[in-house]
Amino acid sequence: QVRMVESGGRLVEAGESLRLSCIVSGLNFADYGLAWFRQAPGREREGVSCISWSGANTYYADSVKGRFTIARDNDKNTLYLEMNSLKPEDTAMYYCAAAPSNGVGCGLTTLEYDYWGQGTQVTVSS
């Protein structure tokens, strides 16, 4: 059984930083591309960042480029999202997701991902 468990979300003020973690079990971690998505109330789930199976390739939504950094530790079966210079518009539930690797890349559409965590809430106050 695949489990993906996010942690690290909390209430912060604008300009502060957070690091989200996602611990994965039940699959061969290194065979999967991984991603972070977020969903704010009343809005569709959107891709934030993804990372290829090796970590060599990463992609970011324009809204977070330069502020967020995705990383993975294949020895610890853990995915991370370092978030700096947080803004109120970053407020959302953040989800990690896994998809069988298609090679060297990864994508930011929900349909590509087979497994999802339950989410961790990030709230940024102004």
Sign, Cα dihedral of 115, 76, 67, 5: positive
Contact 112, 99 (CB under 8 A): yes
Residue 103: pLDDT band with limits 50, 70, 90: confident
Residue 28's pLDDT is 95
pLDDT tens-digit map of 32-81: 999 999 999 999 999 999 999 999 999 999 999 999 999 999 999 999 99
Residue 104's pLDDT is 75
55 three-class SS? coil
Between CA 61 and CA 50 the distance in angstroms is 9
pLDDT tens-digit map of 90-100: 999 999 999 99
Tokens of 103: 């090679």
Give the E-state strand segments of the chain in sequence order: 3-7, 11-13, 18-25, 32-39, 46-51, 58-60, 68-73, 78-83, 92-100, 115-116, 120-125
